[in-house]
């Protein structure tokens, strides 16, 4: 009978077991004879639950564990929900690598939150947001109630009447614009056709336009490389010097006034004029020699003798030239 009763309780009177103790503040409804598991495998059962003699209200749970698996020091005995009905069991988390516990040692206690606590924790943020939303909604309703008094209703009514008049005015303007467009449809069609023709002509002349733009860019580059600012500054300097020279000539002072009456100076100036004429003729007949601009194209260069012959031929044909 003794063996049969213990067997019904889950005890094997013929096996050797170790006894361990765990102290809990709250056993969460744990009962004696509940199984003790390691990784889901039962290795023992709860044999007794009682209060500590220090009148603290804490509970001491006695665990009977078989010798099939070594229990080390620091092993955690956690109370958890073994089923959806809330039945409690104890799961042992062994501290691997630690020294072995002896029968009669006290293990570390822990408690797992049950399903109700988990649901409450998940619903707590939703509850807080709902309460906040309800507070905001209550504030909005209060503000709406304040706006919906008789004076505010009149203002809204006046505003809607003004909007109605505005829409009517816009509708009338739209009708006038539509009528105008209908009356001038022919003119708009002609304008559209002209724009289409102009677009086609521009597309056909795109190569010529590109070439013109390229020539303009080349001219701009040439002008930029010619250092116009520096040239203008030089011209101003030359003008100032020329003014001083004219002043010396008028007063008869300086070397310039003396050179006027020197015959050798006259001869040199005549030669310089002839050289200048030759230079101008060379520029006239060989412009690409001095300005490298693509708009002049590629031209044949003339020698000085050829230029002189051409000028003599022109003078013979038309003496006035």
The domains of the chain are located at 2-112, 118-148, 205-251, 262-321
Per the listing, tokens 């005890």 go with 11
Query: What pLDDT band is residue 319 in, cutting at 50, 70 and 90?
Result: low
The reported pLDDT for the residue numbered 258 is 61
Query: How far, in Å, CA of 267 to CA of 101, rounded?
Result: 132
Exposed e or buried b per residue across 162-190, where buried means at least 16 C-beta atoms within 10 angstroms of its C-beta:
eeeeeeeeeeeeeeeeeeeeeeeeeeeee
pLDDT above 70 for 147: no
The reported pLDDT for the residue numbered 3 is 66
Overall size of the chain counted in residues: 321
SS3 assignment, position 114: coil
The reported pLDDT for the residue numbered 110 is 92
pLDDT above 90 for 204: no
Distances (CA, A) of 180 to 49, 167, 185, 189, 191: 99, 20, 8, 14, 16
State pLDDT tens for residues 6-49.
656 555 555 568 899 999 999 888 998 899 999 989 999 999 99
The reported pLDDT for the residue numbered 58 is 93
Tell me the pTM: 0.36
pLDDT > 90 in the chain, percent: 15
State pLDDT tens for residues 220-257.
676 666 566 677 777 888 888 777 777 766 665 666 56
Of 118-122, 236-240, 292-296, which gets the smallest average pLDDT? 292-296
């Amino acid at each position: 009978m003794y063996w049969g009763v213990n067997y019904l309780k889950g005890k094997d009177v013929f096996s050797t077991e170790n006894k361990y103790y765990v102290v809990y503040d709250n056993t969460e409804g744990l009962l004696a004879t509940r199984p003790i598991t390691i990784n889901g495998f039962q290795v023992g059962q709860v044999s007794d639950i009682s209060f500590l003699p220090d009148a603290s209200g804490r509970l001491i749970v006695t665990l009977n564990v078989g010798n099939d698996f070594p229990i080390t020091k620091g092993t955690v005995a956690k109370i958890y929900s073994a089923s959806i009905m809330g039945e409690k069991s104890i799961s042992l988390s062994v501290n691997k690598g630690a020294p072995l516990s002896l029968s009669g040692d006290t293990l570390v206690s822990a408690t797992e939150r049950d399903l109700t606590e988990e649901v409450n924790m998940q619903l707590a943020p939703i509850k807080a947001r709902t309460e906040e939303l309800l507070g905001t909604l209550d504030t909005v309703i209060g503000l709406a109630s304040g706006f919906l008094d008789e004076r505010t209703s009149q203002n809204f009514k006046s505003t809607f009447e003004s909007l109605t008049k505005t829409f009517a005015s816009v509708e009338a303007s739209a009708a006038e614009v539509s009528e105008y467009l209908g009356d001038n449809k022919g003119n708009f069609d002609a304008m559209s056709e002209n724009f289409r023709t102009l677009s086609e002509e521009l597309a056909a002349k795109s190569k010529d336009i590109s070439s013109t733009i390229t020539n303009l860019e080349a001219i701009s580059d040439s002008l930029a490389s010619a250092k116009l600012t520096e040239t203008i500054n030089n011209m101003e300097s030359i003008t100032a010097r020329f003014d001083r020279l004219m002043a010396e000539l008028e007063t008869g002072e300086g070397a310039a006034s003396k050179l006027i009456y020197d015959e050798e100076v006259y001869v040199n100036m005549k030669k310089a004029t002839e050289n200048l004429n030759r230079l101008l003729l060379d520029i006239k007949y060989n412009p690409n020699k001095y300005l490298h601009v693509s708009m002049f194209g590629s031209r044949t260069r003339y020698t000085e003798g050829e230029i002189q012959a051409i000028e003599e031929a022109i003078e013979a044909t038309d003496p006035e030239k």
